[in-house]
Structure 1
Amino acid sequence: MEHDILPSYFIGDTRVDATLRRLYAATLRMDPPARQAVAAHGLDEGAPGFYEAMKDAYMPVTPDLGMLLYLLVRSSLARTVVEFGTSFGISSIWIAAALRSNGNGRLVTTEMDGGKVSCARNNLREAGLDDLVEIRAGLAEQTLREPLQHPIDLVLLDGAKSAYLPVLRLLEPNLRSGTLILADNTDMPGSRPFLDYVQEPCNGYRSASIVTEALGATHPCMVLLRVRE
């Protein structure tokens, strides 16, 4: 299992790859027992107390989805990226590494757990990418109301699924035609209003679904293109 989730290299940057390997190895140690504990208490995502019970879990994007994020940021020459759900900063590292490879850029990411905010900042510093990232602490529906300087090129939605639609609607004034949106774990019930909205053609999105796998579970992800301003 560890061989499957931890490839021998990620993007070829020694400092970034070493940080990602350490964090994914920690995920293998921490997340399975955390998920077993919340399942034993009958908690699923959306239940009161779920995120508090999972505060020590990493809950990262899979390595395959991380690499896809890196490729999409690079190939689109993205400069401004917004992320909902920083956690320990693993997806932030993938995105910021791509922005660095593009020559410059800014990732604005938001996380409601103060402990995770501190850890994410340390992890980004370890990877040498902290100068490209602004972490906004608090609920995304509040922190993302603060203005952005430029139109958004790419969005990653990877927090509470029930907030996917409110966060997307909040960001829509800053989306341009051609903005990419990735929404992870869209098989969870809380994402249903989001899926209904983006799959209605008149709302201005086109989509494709992909599935990655890690820790014995599948992780459906929707990739969206904004087709009108």
Structure 2
Amino acid sequence: MNQIRSVLARLERQSLLEKARKVDVVSERRMLAITPETARFYHRLLRGIGAKKILELGTSSGYSALWFADAIMQNANPKIITIEGNPTKIEMARANFEAAGVSHIIQIRQGQILDILQKMPKKPTFDFVLIDADKENVTEYFDLVLSMTRIGGIIATDNVLLPRKYQKFMRKYTNHIRQNRHVVTGTIPLGYGQEITIRIS
């Protein structure tokens, strides 16, 4: 556990330096992740529901997956699948997972998210899904992961409120899922805005 927290602390320091423009980082290597407050919220949530199986769309540097790993490590047969298309980000995430000692429970799948989701079994496997990838396809991502989420499981979506440039896509998204009779959903003004959606049937 100390290994995970050590890597998380390093990533949070790096993120602060990047946001303050105190370090010069090429765009491909920038820390794009949920906020620390959001990460800690999901950590408590995952512990509360006893999650074992997690699906993440958008790996980036692996920050959120590390928080998830820390939350579920004590449960039987924990597993995280995280999907990312950028080879540079995968290289960064893999190094962070290895440094944290959690590579054995995290499987990185490289490629286009839609392509990978379409090939995955449509069985209610996951306790928790985080959608934090490109916003243009967010509605399609939701439709594909819904059948993969167990009844009572949670689909969480980042960037529902911020940045403003995503709002066209996110309004379409929230309107879409609020018409779905198989879920209950609501927005939490935490971090960049979190949509918390629970599958009920």
TM-score, with normalisation over the residues of structure 2? 0.88
- CA 1:197/1:141 → structure 2, altered by over 3 Å: closer, same or farther? same
2:179 alignment counterpart: 200
1:5 alignment counterpart: none
**Corresponding position: 1:167 with 2:141:** yes
RMSD: 2.1
Can you give the 5+ residue segments of structure 2 that lack an aligned partner in the other structure?
none
Pick from 184, 197, 200: which aligns with 1:224?
A: 197
Q: Which moved more, 1:165-174 or 1:106-115?
A: 165-174
**What is the Cα deviation at residue 65 of structure 1?**
1.1
Alignment coverage as a number of residue pairs = 193
**Corresponding position: 1:152 with 2:140:** no
**Corresponding position: 1:210 with 2:152:** no
**What is the Cα deviation at residue 56 of structure 1?**
2.1
Q: Does structure 1 conserve the Cα–Cα contact (< 8 Å) formed by 2:124 and 2:147?
A: no
**What is the Cα deviation at residue 150 of structure 1?**
6.0
**What is the Cα deviation at residue 144 of structure 1?**
2.1
How many percent identity over aligned positions?
24
- Code of the residue aligned with 1:133 in structure 2: it is I
Misfit runs of 4+, over 3 Å? 31-34
**What is the Cα deviation at residue 73 of structure 1?**
1.7
TM-score, with normalisation over the residues of structure 1? 0.78
- Code of the residue aligned with 1:135 in structure 2: it is I
- CA 1:199/1:137 → structure 2, altered by over 3 Å: closer, same or farther? same
- Code of the residue aligned with 1:167 in structure 2: it is Y
Aligned-partner Cα distance in 2 for 1:146–1:106: 19
**What is the Cα deviation at residue 182 of structure 1?**
0.9
The C-alpha deviation readout for 1:30-88, integer Å capped at 9, x for no partner, is: 24549xx9xxxxxxxxxxxxxxx732211111111111221222221212111011000
- CA 1:201/1:144 → structure 2, altered by over 3 Å: closer, same or farther? closer
**Corresponding position: 1:14 with 2:2:** yes
Query: Aligned runs of 1:107-146 on 2, under 5 Å?
Result: 107-146=80-119
Q: Does structure 2 conserve the Cα–Cα contact (< 8 Å) formed by 1:31 and 1:57?
A: no
Aligned-partner Cα distance in 1 for 2:32–2:153: 25
**What is the Cα deviation at residue 145 of structure 1?**
2.7
**Corresponding position: 1:184 with 2:172:** no
- CA 1:123/1:180 → structure 2, altered by over 3 Å: closer, same or farther? same
The C-alpha deviation readout for 1:183-217, integer Å capped at 9, x for no partner, is: 11112322222111111153x2212222234xxxx
Can you give the 5+ residue segments of structure 1 that lack an aligned partner in the other structure?
1-12, 38-52, 214-218
Q: Which moved more, 1:193-202 or 1:58-67?
A: 193-202
Aligned-partner Cα distance in 1 for 2:20–2:88: 20
Aligned-partner Cα distance in 2 for 1:54–1:223: 29
Query: Aligned runs of 1:6-45 on 2, under 5 Å?
Result: 13-33=1-21
Aligned-partner Cα distance in 2 for 1:98–1:67: 10
